[in-house]
């Protein structure tokens, strides 16, 4: 198992996120990945690697994200500080958004004001952007591309230790602590290298709205997500069972929402259903956006998986017998995050 680790992840270090009218301490903290790295030092389930420097990362990013969004991200910090020099000490968060719809707001005249631009490209105020965000997110995406290339080169399983996470990011928006959609970037790299059918199985607590939207009209990338019911759970505005894909992609998205409070037995039955559907699709590769926020101790989520369950989950993912790439998504019980993540990887190996 080849594990590509984002050596620059600590450059992304948010201070606070908006939650119900208050700024609260960020949940998505650098210590999360540090715990994974420490646990991998104790239980070396694979080779720890850096992505090679010769990757054409810009081409890989452009396969998923729009060029205007990428140029927004790459210049966001300097424009935030230009808005007001005092901003150098505070993270950028949006506070105004253009609601969509014919009778709502105009996007044919995109605003020049940078505080408005932030709202144009973000769907929540919980995703702080700071000086190191772009460098950290880019290096995470490089890990995803390197992990995809290693699958092409014949690895059975590869891991991209991505932080910040990616599955909430769309072609032209950030949100849910995500900026670049690492799983989608990996999928498009596989496609560019000639892989024709790919399944993405998202097992983060939250619906993988960005990934679903990116591949909504595609039948060559089958997106499946098991997550907390959006009627009550973030990201609320997508992730229902009746979303099955559009146009050419109709029938190639599957959402399996479960109620808050779901325990391992019901969750695992749903995982096995997802695995059967994926097996029937007969993909050439599997990508798993892996969130560990299904853990019973997660401070912002509502499923009840236990640490030992993650070994079983890893084994179930391996049972498909497909070349498999895992990206790291959510998981906010920081002290247990390393053990839970490595449990999945160990379960996959055995």
What is the nearest approach in angstroms of ligand SP5 to the Cβ of residue 332? 7
For ligand SP5 (CB under 6 A), the number of binding residues is: 15
Tell which positions 146-175 bind ligand SP5, by CB under 6 A. 165, 168
CB closer to ligand SP5 out of 170 and 330? 330
**Does 330 sit near Zn ion (CB under 5 A)?**
yes
Q: What is d(CA 167, CA 327) in angstroms, rounded to the nearest whole number?
A: 9
Q: Is 330 in the site for ligand SP5 (CB under 6 A)?
A: yes
Scan for tokens 């290096």, then name that residue: 139
Which one among 46, 210, 283, 291 touches Zn ion, defined by CB under 5 A? Answer: 291
Whether 174 contacts 261, CB under 8 Å: no
Distance CA 289, CA 340 (A): 14
Quick check: helix, strand or coil at residue 202?
A: strand
Query: In the annotation, is 168 catalytic?
Result: yes
Residue 219, judged by CB atoms within 10 A of its CB (0-12, 13-18, 19+), counts as middle
CB of 209 to ligand SP5, least distance (A): 10
Question: Euclidean distance between the first and final Cα of the chain, in Å?
Answer: 12
- Which position among 140, 176, 283, 338 is part of the footprint of ligand SP5 (CB under 6 A)? 176
Q: Among 9, 35, 167, 168, which one carries the catalytic annotation? A: 168
Assess 293 for contact with Zn ion (CB under 5 A).
yes
Task: Name the minimum Å distance from CB 181 to ligand SP5.
Answer: 11
Sole binder of ligand SP5 in the list 234, 252, 310, 337 (CB under 6 A): 234
Task: Give residues 78-107 in contact with Zn ion (rule: CB under 5 A).
Answer: none
- Give the residue, chosen from 4, 72, 173, 205, that forms a contact with Zn ion under the rule CB under 5 A: 205
In the complex with Zn ion, which residue's Cβ is closer, 175 or 249? 175
Q: Of Zn ion, ligand SP5, none, which one sits near residue 94, judging by CB under 5 to 8 A according to partner kind?
A: none
Candidates 18, 49, 152, 300: give the one binding ligand SP5 (CB under 6 A): 300
- Name the nearest CA neighbour of 92 among 129, 127, 123: 129
Tokens of 162: 């991505």
Range in contact with Zn ion (rule: CB under 5 A) among 134-142, 179-187, 261-269, 323-331: 323-331
Query: E strands, the chain, where?
Result: 2-5, 16-19, 22-25, 47-49, 157-161, 198-202, 221-228, 253-258, 285-290, 324-328
Q: CB neighbours of 116 closer than 8 A, spacing ≥ 6?
A: 96
Residue 291 within binding range of ligand SP5, rule CB under 6 A:
yes
Q: Is 208 in the site for Zn ion (CB under 5 A)?
A: no
What is the residue-wise DSSP string for 322-350? --EEEEE-----HHHHHHHHHHHHHHHH-
Q: Is residue 267 a contact residue for ligand SP5 (CB under 6 A)?
A: no
Residues 6+ apart with CB under 8 A from 284: 195, 196, 197, 198, 322, 323
Contact with Zn ion (CB under 5 A): which of 204, 216, 233, 298? Answer: 204
User: Cβ of residue 37: shortest distance to Zn ion, in angstroms?
Assistant: 20
Measured CA to CA, the distance from residue 65 to residue 176 in angstroms comes to: 17
Work out what residue 165 binds among Zn ion, ligand SP5, none; the CB cut-off runs from 5 to 8 Å by kind: ligand SP5
| Interaction of residue 69 with ligand SP5, rule CB under 6 A | no
- Residue 28 near Zn ion by CB under 5 A: no
263: alpha, beta or left? (left if phi > 0; alpha if psi -120 to 50): beta
Spatial distance between the Cα atoms of 28 and 176, rounded to a whole number of angstroms = 10
Interface ranges with ligand SP5 (CB under 6 A): 19, 126, 165, 168, 176-178, 204, 206, 234, 291, 293, 300, 329-330
Interface ranges with Zn ion (CB under 5 A): 204-206, 291, 293, 330
Catalytic residues: 168
């Amino acid at each position: 198992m080849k594990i590509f680790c984002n050596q620059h992840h600590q450059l992304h270090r948010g201070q606070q996120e908006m939650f119900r009218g208050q700024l609260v301490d960020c949940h998505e903290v650098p210590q999360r990945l540090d715990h994974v790295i420490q646990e991998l030092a104790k239980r070396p389930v694979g080779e720890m690697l850096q992505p090679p420097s010769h990757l054409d990362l810009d081409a890989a990013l452009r396969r998923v994200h729009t060029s205007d969004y990428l140029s927004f991200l790459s210049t966001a910090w300097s424009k935030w500080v230009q808005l007001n020099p005092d901003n150098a000490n505070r993270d950028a968060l949006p506070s105004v958004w253009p609601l969509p719809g014919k009778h709502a707001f105009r996007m044919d005249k995109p605003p020049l004001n940078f505080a408005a631009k932030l709202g144009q490209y973000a769907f929540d105020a919980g995703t702080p952007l700071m000086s190191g965000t772009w460098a950290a997110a880019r290096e995470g995406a490089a890990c995803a591309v390197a992990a995809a290339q290693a699958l092409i080169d014949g690895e059975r399983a590869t891991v991209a230790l991505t932080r910040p996470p990616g599955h909430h990011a769309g072609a032209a928006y950030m949100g849910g602590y995500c900026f670049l959609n690492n799983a989608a970037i990996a999928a498009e790299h596989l496609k560019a290298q000639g892989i024709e059918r790919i399944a993405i199985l998202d097992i983060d607590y939250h619906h993988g709205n960005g990934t679903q939207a990116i591949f909504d009209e595609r039948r060559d990338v089958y997106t499946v997500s098991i997550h907390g019911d959006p009627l009550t759970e973030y990201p609320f505005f997508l992730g229902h069972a009746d979303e099955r894909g559009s146009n050419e992609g109709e029938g190639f998205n599957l959402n399996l929402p479960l109620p808050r409070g779901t325990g391992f037995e019901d969750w695992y039955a749903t995982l096995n259903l997802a695995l059967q559907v994926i097996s029937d699709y007969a993909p050439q590769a599997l990508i798993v956006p892996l969130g560990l926020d299904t853990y019973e101790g997660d401070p912002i989520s509502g499923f009840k998986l236990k640490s030992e369950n993650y070994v079983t989950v890893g084994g179930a993912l391996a049972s498909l017998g497909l070349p498999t790439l895992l990206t790291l998504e959510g998981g906010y019980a920081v002290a247990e995050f390393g053990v839970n993540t490595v449990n999945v990887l160990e379960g996959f190996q055995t």
